[in-house]
Copies of this chain bind each other. A is one copy, B any other.
Amino acid sequence: MAEPRRLTPLGTPAELRGECARIRSAGQSLGLVPTMGALHAGHRSLILRSLAECDRTAVSIFVNPTQFGPGEDFDRYPRSLEADLLLCSELGVDLVYAPTAEAMYPDGFATWVNLRGVLVETLEAAHRPGHFQGVATVVTKLLVTARPDRAYFGQKDAQQCAVVRRLAADLDTGTEVVVCPTVRDSDGLAFSSRNARLDPAARRQALAIPAALAAAAAAHRAGETDPERIRRLILGRLAESPDLAVDYVAVVDAETFEPARQVSVRCEILIAARIAGTRLIDVLRPGTDERLAVGAGG
């Protein structure tokens, strides 16, 4: 088998627009996988899904400064462009878009995409002011430039998925937003670029997060439908990791992010917590995420 060609990333919106226009004018469908790089098994599953469903697949790699708050980990966010390009080449990705911040936000940049409502006021939004404005703006720019038939996002970032679904519909992008299941490492921890920063002790404590979700899934299977009892069950399990600082545990409607009155397949159970300076999030869709309990590898 021939060595895969090492992809040369495109660097400007005009280049991406031109390449994607060529794909469309050849009558081919296009999938886009937006990432911040430091690609892991979760991203790999998104890319494979796009390769399976679309004629052509584009991957964007951009650590978007506008979705990080002042005290957050923009500078420390893992970056591995060479390894990412190699992975994309090996998987058969057709093009990679890796713009600079200057290409995305040139001098005089002044236009922002904002959602209104509970979805962008609660949970991640409350803990990360400005985060979803940055996410919504950069995703809009990517969808407008590439004009993909489908865009692929990981379920782990559940609130981001709801924001992106909403803006893709509201702005008439015509892009289908495909949300793919969370991929977990063999110990159950959801893959995240930030996991690279956990030392073994921190990682052990972080495993309380998937363990708590697995306990919630088991309780729901056994008939528990009260959101508050599920929350208390999760909080109790998380408390067994003494260094884990919980930002929130919530049971919400998966579309609106309003608090759920009853635990069902239309809900998401969400956890955000910090350990040793690293913030982790995870999610369970009750009744649809049974692989979680068995810690399937990515």
Which of B112, B144, B171, B174 contacts A116 (CB under 8 A)?
B112
Q: Does A172 contact B (CB under 8 A)?
A: yes
Query: Number of copies of this chain in the oligomer?
Result: 2
Contacts A24-B25, A25-B25, A147-B147; is A171 near B14 (CB within 8 Å)?
no
Which of B108, B115, B145, B174 contacts A111 (CB under 8 A)?
B115
A141 to B143: give the CA distance in the assembly, Å.
12
Instruction: Please determine whether B174 and A14 come into contact, CB atoms closer than 8 angstroms.
Output: yes
A173 to B143: give the CA distance in the assembly, Å.
10
Q: Does A242 contact B (CB under 8 A)?
A: no
Q: Does A298 contact B (CB under 8 A)?
A: no
A140 to B144: give the CA distance in the assembly, Å.
10
Which of B14, B116, B172 contacts A17 (CB under 8 A)?
B172
Q: Please, which residue of chain B has its CB at the minimum distance from the CB of A255?
A: B108
Instruction: Please determine whether B110 and A111 come into contact, CB atoms closer than 8 angstroms.
Output: no
Which of A80-112 touch B at CB < 8 Å? Answer: 108-112
Instruction: Please determine whether B141 and A171 come into contact, CB atoms closer than 8 angstroms.
Output: yes
Q: Please, which residue of chain B has its CB at the minimum distance from the CB of A167?
A: B111
A226 to B118: give the CA distance in the assembly, Å.
50
The count of residues in chain A whose C-beta lies closer than 8 Å to any C-beta of chain B is 31
Q: Please, which residue of chain B has its CB at the minimum distance from the CB of A113?
A: B113
Q: How far is the CB of A148 from chain B (nearest CB, A)?
A: 13
Map CB proximity to B onto A7-46 as digits: 1 under 8 Å, 0 otherwise.
Answer: 0000001100100000011010000000000000000000
Instruction: Please determine whether A144 and B167 come into contact, CB atoms closer than 8 angstroms.
Output: no
Q: Does A269 contact B (CB under 8 A)?
A: no
Which of B109, B112, B115, B144 contacts A110 (CB under 8 A)?
B115
Q: How far is the CB of A147 from chain B (nearest CB, A)?
A: 7
Selected A-B contacts with CB under 8 Å, 5 pairs: A25-B27, A110-B115, A111-B136, A111-B170, A144-B172
Given A17-B172, A112-B113, A113-B171, 7 more A-B residue pairs with CB atoms under 8 Å apart are A25-B27, A110-B116, A112-B114, A113-B114, A141-B171, A145-B172, A145-B174
